[in-house]
Chains A and B, each alone.
Chain A
């Protein structure tokens, strides 16, 4: 009896324990189900947002390249406002572009036939020639998937620009080493009717906006692209005598080029990018007209120094600390190896 009683007491304890375990398991299962239910729409929403942003950015890049458009742009920076005339035409599959100031002395940039020409005040012209596809990487497009480490890409709503409805896509930098963008993309044509250069806090540093724009589809064939896009170009290592230490986080070397000067000297050009922002380091044998310290024009910053008979200058539309860190990390190989 005592035994049975003992047995029954033990059984009832087991039953209680088993019951408690079952309740606990069910509670956990229900809690996790509720939690996962709560997360599912959020995650799906994020995916949808990223997908929509990527689609809009791809459409924008295509529209910028392949449509014919002409209009007046205003450029707002540091409480100043400048007006410019922009024309973009596709003629026989070749892009012809022209940007000219509408106030003050004539400043203009013309881009066509793999050549960029600039007329600057005080009349010193600049002509940069792209010799075939080998020298320069293709620069089209923005790939949101390649930016996730350094930027957050998301929809920021809608706005009306130049009398047209636009969707707003933000590419927001995750740190202070780079700038981002806020594009107001025309719903009809996908052209960026307003482009803001923004900092980490999404505050605009510069703004470009169409006040009027006429768009039409080109009659001839669309421009073709070939070559390695810079947005997906593999990172490379510096060959030759230069090494780059303490490269700003997220930036990689993707291009090395040599610019022959009229006097015969050669300027080495190294380009670093995080797949959106970029800076270039130029290394010149000619020590004349060197830059010691820092300079800027709008959001473009430059930092320079000399090193054992060479002049080093870093230039880019990136914060000052980025170009300063970049130029500070340049070493001559034998000197770097001995360190």
Chain B
């Protein structure tokens, strides 16, 4: 039996205003109650209609815009006062000292490093290491046009529900949808 509280919770969920625990309870309720599910879908449609009238498409990609701006900003480096006044002789001495230190460290550390590199097992070395992918000059799904974003989300969910690896990986194929949001 759907109550006003259910409606309110549903509305909060779709507006992104509900905490994780409450959201889980609402989702479970939606999953088990056909009437609530119908309301959930109607609210979604209303939200889409409202957003199509008033939403600024650019706001969906605000994190990327901020990131892009930060990329363009010059990085301020701390300026050491008087560094320009250092004498050439002092620089040479500093360089010699650094070279000597490096040689000493290399002398001490080299045997250990060499020993370690030989003993690292090739198999089982599964430390996370990410390849830096080429940046693809394309807009991400969900980015600019809400209507297109909804359509692509629907296509992706339908695809994942039918793709052959899904059964073996359980919910993991949906991690892209659920986990990718903050970077958009």
Residues of A participating in the B interface, judged by any CB pair closer than 8 Å: 57, 60-61, 64-65, 73, 75-80, 82, 84-86, 88, 96-113, 115-128, 130, 136-142, 156-159, 168, 181-182, 184, 192, 194-195, 199, 201, 203-208, 229-231, 255, 257, 259, 262, 269, 271, 273, 275-280, 282, 284, 288-291, 293-300, 302, 313, 315-317, 320
Are B182 and A80 interface neighbours, CB within 8 A? yes
In the complex, chain B residues whose CB is within 8 Å of the CB of A299:
176
Are A276 and B165 interface neighbours, CB within 8 A? yes
- Report B159-181 residues with CB < 8 Å from chain A CB: 159-181
Q: Which of B16, B147, B165, B179 contacts A77 (CB 8 A)?
A: B179
Q: Which of A97, A159, A184, A297 contacts B141 (CB 8 A)?
A: A297
The count of residues in chain B whose C-beta lies closer than 8 Å to any C-beta of chain A is: 81
- In Å, the complex CA distance between A18 and B15 comes to 94
* Smallest CB separation, B28 vs chain A (Å): 7
- In Å, the complex CA distance between A289 and B147 comes to 6
- Report B1-42 residues with CB < 8 Å from chain A CB: 13-16, 18, 20, 23-24, 27-28, 30-31, 37, 40-41
If the complex has contacts A110-B31, A123-B14, A278-B159, are A103 and B47 also in contact, measured as CB distance less than 8 A?
Answer: no
Are B170 and A97 interface neighbours, CB within 8 A? yes
**Chain B window 39-79, contacts with chain A (Cβ cutoff 8 Å), 1 for yes, 0 for no:** 01101110110010001000010000000000000000000
Of chain A, the residue at the smallest CB distance from B165 is: A276
> Taking each of A79, A115, A299, A315, which has the highest tally of chain B beta carbons within 10 Å of its own beta carbon?
A315
Residue B104 at the A interface, CB < 8 A?
Answer: no
> Taking each of A60, A78, A126, A203, which has the highest tally of chain B beta carbons within 10 Å of its own beta carbon?
A126
In the complex, chain A residues whose CB is within 8 Å of the CB of B161:
111, 116, 128, 130, 136, 139
Are B171 and A204 interface neighbours, CB within 8 A? no
Are B181 and A104 interface neighbours, CB within 8 A? yes
Are B162 and A136 interface neighbours, CB within 8 A? yes
Interface pairs (21), CB distance under 8 Å: A97-B170, A97-B171, A98-B31, A103-B182, A108-B27, A108-B178, A111-B161, A124-B51, A125-B41, A128-B161, A157-B121, A157-B123, A159-B124, A205-B131, A205-B133, A207-B130, A229-B167, A271-B162, A273-B163, A297-B141, A302-B155
- In Å, the complex CA distance between A298 and B175 comes to 10
If the complex has contacts A100-B27, A103-B182, A204-B131, are A230 and B164 also in contact, measured as CB distance less than 8 A?
Answer: yes
If the complex has contacts A98-B27, A139-B163, A205-B131, are A106 and B20 also in contact, measured as CB distance less than 8 A?
Answer: yes
* Smallest CB separation, B159 vs chain A (Å): 4
In the complex, chain B residues whose CB is within 8 Å of the CB of A184:
126
Are B145 and A289 interface neighbours, CB within 8 A? yes
**Chain B window 114-140, contacts with chain A (Cβ cutoff 8 Å), 1 for yes, 0 for no:** 000000011111101111010010111
Are B156 and A300 interface neighbours, CB within 8 A? yes
- In Å, the complex CA distance between A57 and B154 comes to 29
- In Å, the complex CA distance between A101 and B176 comes to 11
Closest 3 CB pairs of A and B: A157-B123, A140-B167, A139-B167
In the complex, chain B residues whose CB is within 8 Å of the CB of A139:
161-168
- In Å, the complex CA distance between A97 and B181 comes to 20
- In Å, the complex CA distance between A159 and B153 comes to 35
Are A296 and B141 interface neighbours, CB within 8 A? yes
Q: Which of A61, A101, A182 contacts B181 (CB 8 A)?
A: A101
Are B175 and A142 interface neighbours, CB within 8 A? no
Are A109 and B178 interface neighbours, CB within 8 A? yes
**Chain B window 77-97, contacts with chain A (Cβ cutoff 8 Å), 1 for yes, 0 for no:** 000000000000000000000
Are A85 and B174 interface neighbours, CB within 8 A? no
Are A230 and B178 interface neighbours, CB within 8 A? no
In the complex, chain A residues whose CB is within 8 Å of the CB of B55:
122
Q: Which of A276, A282, A300 contacts B164 (CB 8 A)?
A: A276
If the complex has contacts A75-B175, A317-B163, are A128 and B154 also in contact, measured as CB distance less than 8 A?
Answer: yes
